[in-house]
Structure 1
């Protein structure tokens, strides 16, 4: 799904960071703790989500760091061998996005001094790569002014699946960047519709561009224990004490998302900017969103990762994922059938968000 990016000059002071964490439990049983969604070819393109992400970022910078769980490090390294081993940061256990991103920032600064860092999730789909490159370049220019910058997605519908960013006035000296007035948690559908009617809102896609010293400076004020911890780990990262310091300090780091730790409080102080963009962006968070990106066959069935036949009787809109046996859906519209070696899931596209609850009850994800 990712189109080729036209030849671009790399952004000399940009270092990309790819946080590759999370199970993707709304895509259970396809996505598992040992097989998270960023390692999957969900769209049948021949490349996985993390491979597409690294390819997209490699057009913009020569340095792409990946932060992932220790149990996924070998699989990540195998999928993106173009990323040098020294740019792969393995975290011993999940501590949420702030710890992962802050550790990368601290390691980058330890190695090369203050640098502009861009954090981009491993599991997002972006089809408009030229627009993405332009948005990143604008975000880097805004970050050079000392702002924490996020790339906001121009909404295509009043979705309640995403957080929203309220834009303020234009950022002086940086065309295409706006001050952020506030972040809003995922709203209910009625509130989301009102936001779109009012205008001036974009979706929060969790893409951040900021100078490492600015990020770590805010962290030292707002989350001092976390800031001190990642700096201590980074100081030992390229030496023989890495493992010992990591084992000692990592479990003590505050478990918090970057939105709550940095973005929201710094926005309240006027320190956050947003670059609104239309990128062909998709967060494949559940089987409904996955199905929306795929084309049905002549019978109207969406098939993913299977060659066995699937059919419908007095039904429409079926999505069938995996498995090597014939599947027939009778009398259920928008059914979702997912078969893996571990489990069989039967649901509907309307109930796709509830799959996370099923995954938790069955396998303790």
Structure 2
């Protein structure tokens, strides 16, 4: 834009006439209006460019998956890891009526292999996959605001069946980790609003292994609470923290990576599992790989050189091209006692408070009193910022590169990629009989209200039709849905959140 248009000012010794002043004003207003128009055009161009970039990224990803699946059908070896099995069906999707889930076999959650995955050594399992002294921690928190109105505060995304497999995300997480620890060493950290639903969905979860935090304090407090309690029960415990709301394909590769991480943890490291990136995502954090540790029991393990925040598209592409980066999925394995040592060093007040709570945890009366006294003052901070990043700078964090498929199911665009659909058709989560489309490509439609949804000539839309709320956006803007949640809260629609 330019502000160089000349403006004719009268000579200093001349008194400006009314006509001259009016002419000057009109010229100035003309410049201002043109500038506003140019700014509006630039904003529109930026929006279109962002949408085009996201759409191109999605098309490239889907194209690679299609090639991979075609190769599989014609018998060409494919390096994708197998899809984990889905055990017996329990409760159906909680946001749809019992008759609305179609009899539909969802295709495998296709993992697009990364060139970084080459050369990873498989871990040699013995007769059993159970790891002695290993405790699983599943933090089940968050409201999933980017999946509103499908996900609500009292029924977050980890309780939802988003793949039509008959299992919610937390049930699938339980199924995946159970072979490593057994039910007696599998624990969940959750808020009071979700305790009942978790027990309903995980009937084999032992009551003393469900740790209820009074209020959300981010991942550090949740995982730290579990670590402190488990250290009291077993001073030699090795813990592994795995989010309740992630999708994983390739069960063998996942279990192999966790088993290898446990071996590294015994050497005195905080260990994360690095996911082989399939595309230059701007929605995930990254781990930079350092030198190999040379541990015979863990041939793939490396030091973590550094953690990187979510990058822009150009930086993410550079990360992928370098071959030295992995996605940070927030999976951590370590000795409980060592973890508390790190916490005491980097966040002493947080460690002191959690240790006090853990010391009286088995006495319900004393526990309630201690939580009232300590919990409100605990710092709200993520585990990456509290412990992992500072420890990595001192060479105390390791990473096990892995090849299994992973997605944090962070928005409706992610869900769409997990659902079956014919070519150039929208994905449908729910009863397909409630959706009519004509010349509609891409997108995702969730018919949760029972009424018919008809679409004509629209592409890549997200339509979530719940009994009390209707959301319409685009896949390119699906990461921004949480902004609507804030607006709804500010506008007084708290009951819908």
Q: Answer whether TM exceeds 0.5 for this pair.
A: yes
Q: Distance in 1 between matches of 2:432 and 2:457?
A: 23
Q: Which residue pairs with 2:308 in the alignment?
A: 184
Unaligned runs of 5+ in 1: none
Equivalent of 1:207 in 321, 325, 331: 331
Q: Distance in 2 between matches of 1:129 and 1:120?
A: 14
TM-score (norm 1): 0.97
User: Does the residue aligned with 1:241 lie in a helix, a strand or coil?
Assistant: helix
Q: Which residue pairs with 1:346 in the alignment?
A: 472
RMSD: 1.6
Q: Which residue pairs with 2:319 in the alignment?
A: 195
Q: Distance in 1 between matches of 2:131 and 2:241?
A: 14
Equivalent of 1:99 in 213, 218, 221: 221
Question: 1:299 deviation in Å?
Answer: 7.9
Q: Which residue pairs with 1:164 in the alignment?
A: 286
Task: Tell me, yes or no, if the aligned pair for 2:133 and 2:236 is still in contact at 8 Å.
Answer: no
Question: 1:172 deviation in Å?
Answer: 2.4
Task: Tell me, yes or no, if the aligned pair for 2:86 and 2:172 is still in contact at 8 Å.
Answer: no
Q: Which residue pairs with 1:152 in the alignment?
A: 274
1:7-18 to 2 correspondences below 5 Å: 8-18=128-138
Unaligned runs of 5+ in 2: 1-82, 88-124, 491-496
Equivalent of 1:53 in 142, 166, 173: 173
Bigger strand fraction: 1
- CA 205–176 in structure 1, closer or farther in 2 if over 3 Å, else same: same
1:59-74 to 2 correspondences below 5 Å: 59-62=179-182, 63-74=185-196
Mean Cα displacement is larger for which, 5-14 or 155-164? 5-14
Q: Which has the higher contact order (CA 8 A, sep 6+)?
A: 1
Q: Which residue pairs with 1:286 in the alignment?
A: 411
Q: Distance in 2 between matches of 1:141 and 1:344?
A: 49
Tell me the alpha carbon deviations over residues 196-216 of structure 1, each in whole angstroms, 9 at most, x when there is no partner. 111110000000001011110
Q: Which residue pairs with 2:355 in the alignment?
A: 231
Question: 1:275 deviation in Å?
Answer: 0.6
TM-score (norm 2): 0.71
Q: Which residue pairs with 2:245 in the alignment?
A: 123
Equivalent of 2:484 in 331, 348, 358: 358
Question: 1:308 deviation in Å?
Answer: 3.4
Q: Distance in 2 between matches of 1:342 and 1:105?
A: 40
Question: 1:232 deviation in Å?
Answer: 0.2
Q: Distance in 2 between matches of 1:314 and 1:85?
A: 52
Task: Tell me, yes or no, if the aligned pair for 1:107 and 1:237 is still in contact at 8 Å.
Answer: yes
- Does 2:155 correspond to 1:35? yes
Task: Tell me, yes or no, if the aligned pair for 2:288 and 2:325 is still in contact at 8 Å.
Answer: yes
Aligned pair count reads 365
Q: Which residue pairs with 1:300 in the alignment?
A: 425
Bigger helix fraction: 2
Task: Tell me, yes or no, if the aligned pair for 1:31 and 1:37 is still in contact at 8 Å.
Answer: yes
User: Does the residue aligned with 2:180 lie in a helix, a strand or coil?
Assistant: coil
Question: 1:4 deviation in Å?
Answer: 6.1
Q: Distance in 2 between matches of 1:307 and 1:88?
A: 37
Task: Tell me, yes or no, if the aligned pair for 1:3 and 1:128 is still in contact at 8 Å.
Answer: no
Question: 1:330 deviation in Å?
Answer: 2.2
Larger Rg: 2
Q: Which residue pairs with 1:334 in the alignment?
A: 460
Q: Which residue pairs with 1:269 in the alignment?
A: 394
